[in-house]
């Protein structure tokens, strides 16, 4: 459906998009994830035609979109803060795209009612958009974007301003809805939870480039680089020399999975892969802090020498602060990281 081929956008010296290649297949839901300033919003604007390319191509349905104005691209875009038209009621907002396409009154009314049902706001058509809550505005914005049946729906921080509970519920609803409708979706977010819950595929961006792309579980379990690992919230990264199945680190010897790259590397240990053992079996660690997280306890461990280590432990196994412990690592929770893109 969508192909980006070396897409480049520059703002002065800085490249907001730096030769980005990306494909989105029909009916696929792709989440672009990245910190602010990574170029993810620019990516959406470039696809929509709101931002001209300085290089490369955008293809929709195989057709180069160069010179095609925004209103002829047939894509949908849900803005970050919704941008509902303040002077129109809910009906007027949802019907807008249909009117632009010259749909008849009856068709408009039918489709608007259908979509308001779909987003869970039946009968809200006559309400003023100013009187809607944040969640309701979000639903209206979604209905408005979906109404003209765009071939590609783009979402810019779709759930950004909503509270946590609502966000977690809506993201599930969205995924089910898109699955049912067969919508092709390109969503942009800085929230990894949202991206992983929504998408078939996650694309992590950094400084206008794609740092990693893959299925959520793949990106989660095998971050490609230290940047991606840290962005996903993993802080257990340490320098290592990998020789065969073992890596030498400041945390001692760490087993690595078979087939890991060899030599001087950076190493990630997922907190779940840390096990505590009695002190006499290895070097001594001190429990620096202990945070209750509901299903588990997060423990920060301080070695005699070297960076701290985060561990996730079952409630009953967690030692108290200040306790002295020994540490072991599980090879399947250790990832030898690739180099960051320059």
Partner 1 sequence: MVVPVAFFALFFAWPVVSIVERGLRVDGVWQFGRFGETLSRPEILDVLWFTLWQALASTGLTLLIALPGAYVFARFDFRGKGLLRAVVTVPFVMPTVMVGTAFLALVGRGGLLDELWGVRLDTTVWAILIAHVFFNYAVVVRTVGGLWAQLDPRQEEAARVLGASRWKAWRTVTLPALAPSVAAAALMVFLFTASSFAVVQILGGSTYSTLETEIYRQTVVRFDLTTAAVLTMVQFVAVGVVLAVHARTVRRRETALRMVAPEETARRPRGIGQWALFAAVLLSVALLIVLPLGVLVERSFATSHGYGLDYYRALQTPDPSGTFLVPLLDTIGNSLRYAVVATLIALVIGGLAAAALTRRAGRLVRGFDALLMLPLGVSAVTVGFGFLITLDEPPFDLRASWILVPLAQALVGVPFVVRTMLPVLRAVDERLREAAAVLGASPWRAWREVDLPLVRRALLIAAGFAFAVSLGEFGATVFIARPDSPTLPVAVARLLGRPGELNYGQAMALSTILMVVCAVSLLLLERLRTERTSGEF
Residues within window 86-115 making contact with partner 1, judged by CB under 8 A: 86-89, 96-97, 100-101
The separation between CA 253 and the C-alpha centre of its own chain, rounded to angstroms, equals 33
DSSP-derived letter for residue 319 is: P
The reply to whether 74 sits near partner 1 by the rule CB under 8 A is yes
The reply to whether 71 sits near partner 1 by the rule CB under 8 A is yes
The reply to whether 70 sits near partner 1 by the rule CB under 8 A is yes
DSSP-derived letter for residue 332 is: G
Using the minimum distance from each CB to partner 1, give the nearer residue, 85 or 292: 85
Query: CA-based angle 91:97:100, to the nearest 5?
Result: 115
Using the minimum distance from each CB to partner 1, give the nearer residue, 70 or 172: 70
Using the minimum distance from each CB to partner 1, give the nearer residue, 119 or 219: 119
Stretch that binds partner 1, among 22-30, 68-76, 105-113, 314-322 (CB under 8 A): 68-76
Return d(Cα 35, Cα 55) in angstroms, integer: 23
289: β partners: 300
Using the minimum distance from each CB to partner 1, give the nearer residue, 48 or 202: 48
Residues within window 24-63 making contact with partner 1, judged by CB under 8 A: 48-50
Q: How far is the CB of 102 from partner 1 (least distance, A)?
A: 9
Handedness of CA 137, 140, 141, 142 (dihedral sign): positive
Q: How far is the CB of 106 from partner 1 (least distance, A)?
A: 19
Q: If DSSP codes are grouped into helix, strand and coil, which group holds residue 270?
A: coil
Q: How far is the CB of 144 from partner 1 (least distance, A)?
A: 7
Q: Are 144 and 79 in contact (CB under 8 A)?
A: no
The reply to whether 310 sits near partner 1 by the rule CB under 8 A is no
Among 4, 29, 58, 75, the residue binding partner 1 under the rule CB under 8 A is: 75
Using the minimum distance from each CB to partner 1, give the nearer residue, 126 or 180: 126
Stretch that binds partner 1, among 27-35, 69-77, 109-117, 332-340 (CB under 8 A): 69-77
Q: How far is the CB of 108 from partner 1 (least distance, A)?
A: 13
Using the minimum distance from each CB to partner 1, give the nearer residue, 76 or 208: 76
Stretch that binds partner 1, among 70-78, 104-112, 183-191, 208-216 (CB under 8 A): 70-78
The reply to whether 11 sits near partner 1 by the rule CB under 8 A is no
Q: If DSSP codes are grouped into helix, strand and coil, which group holds residue 277?
A: strand
Q: How far is the CB of 139 from partner 1 (least distance, A)?
A: 16
Reading phi first (left if > 0) and then psi (alpha if -120 to 50, else beta), residue 149 is in: left
Residues within window 147-186 making contact with partner 1, judged by CB under 8 A: 148
- Alpha helices by DSSP H, listed for the chain, are 40-48, 90-100, 105-118, 134-146, 164-181, 192-198, 216-221, 226-231
Return d(Cα 72, Cα 91) in angstroms, integer: 23
Return d(Cα 213, Cα 154) in angstroms, integer: 18
Q: How far is the CB of 199 from partner 1 (least distance, A)?
A: 21
List CB contacts of 24: < 8 A, sequence separation 6 or more. Answer: 1, 2, 3, 30, 152, 184, 186
Residue 325, H or E segment: strand 324-329
Using the minimum distance from each CB to partner 1, give the nearer residue, 69 or 294: 69
Residues in the chain: 342
Stretch that binds partner 1, among 64-72, 207-215, 281-289, 307-315 (CB under 8 A): 64-72
Total binding residues toward partner 1, as defined by CB under 8 A: 28
The reply to whether 139 sits near partner 1 by the rule CB under 8 A is no
The separation between CA 268 and the C-alpha centre of its own chain, rounded to angstroms, equals 20
Choose among 17, 63, 77: nearest CA to 43. 17
Which residues of this chain interact with partner 1, rule CB under 8 A? 48-50, 69-77, 79, 83, 85-89, 96-97, 100-101, 128, 130, 144-145, 148
């Amino acid at each position: 459906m969508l192909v980006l081929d070396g897409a480049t956008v520059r703002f002065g010296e800085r490249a907001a998009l730096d030769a980005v290649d990306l494909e989105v297949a029909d009916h696929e839901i792709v989440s672009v994830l990245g910190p602010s300033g990574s170029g993810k919003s620019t990516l959406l604007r470039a696809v929509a035609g709101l931002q001209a390319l300085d290089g490369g191509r955008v293809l929709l349905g195989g057709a180069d979109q160069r010179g095609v104005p925004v209103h002829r691209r047939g894509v949908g875009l849900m803005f970050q803060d919704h941008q509902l038209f303040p002077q129109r009621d809910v009906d007027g907002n949802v019907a807008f795209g249909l009117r632009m396409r010259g749909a008849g009154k009856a068709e408009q009314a039918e489709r608007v009612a259908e979509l308001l049902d779909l987003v869970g706001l039946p009968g809200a058509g006559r309400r003023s958009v100013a009187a809607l809550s944040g969640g309701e505005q979000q639903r209206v914005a979604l209905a408005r974007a979906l109404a003209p049946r765009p071939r590609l729906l783009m979402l810019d921080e779709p759930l950004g301003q909503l509270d946590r509970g609502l966000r977690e519920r809506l993201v599930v609803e969205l995924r089910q809805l898109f699955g049912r409708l067969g919508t092709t979706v390109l969503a942009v977010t800085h929230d990894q939870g949202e991206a992983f819950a929504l998408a078939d595929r996650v694309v992590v961006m950094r400084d206008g480039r794609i740092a990693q792309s893959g299925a959520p579980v793949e990106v989660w379990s095998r971050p490609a680089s230290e940047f991606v690992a840290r962005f996903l919230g993993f802080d257990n990264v340490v320098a290592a020399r990998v020789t065969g199945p073992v890596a030498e680190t400041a945390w001692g010897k760490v087993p690595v999975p078979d087939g890991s790259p060899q030599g001087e590397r950076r190493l990630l240990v997922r907190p779940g892969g840390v096990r505590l053992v009695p002190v006499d079996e290895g070097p001594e660690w001190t429990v620096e802090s202990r945070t209750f997280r509901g299903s588990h306890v997060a423990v920060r461990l301080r070695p005699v020498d070297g960076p701290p280590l985060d561990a996730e432990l079952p409630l009953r196994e967690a030692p108290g602060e200040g306790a002295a412990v020994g540490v072991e690592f599980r090879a399947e929770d250790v990832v030898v990281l690739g180099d960051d893109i320059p």
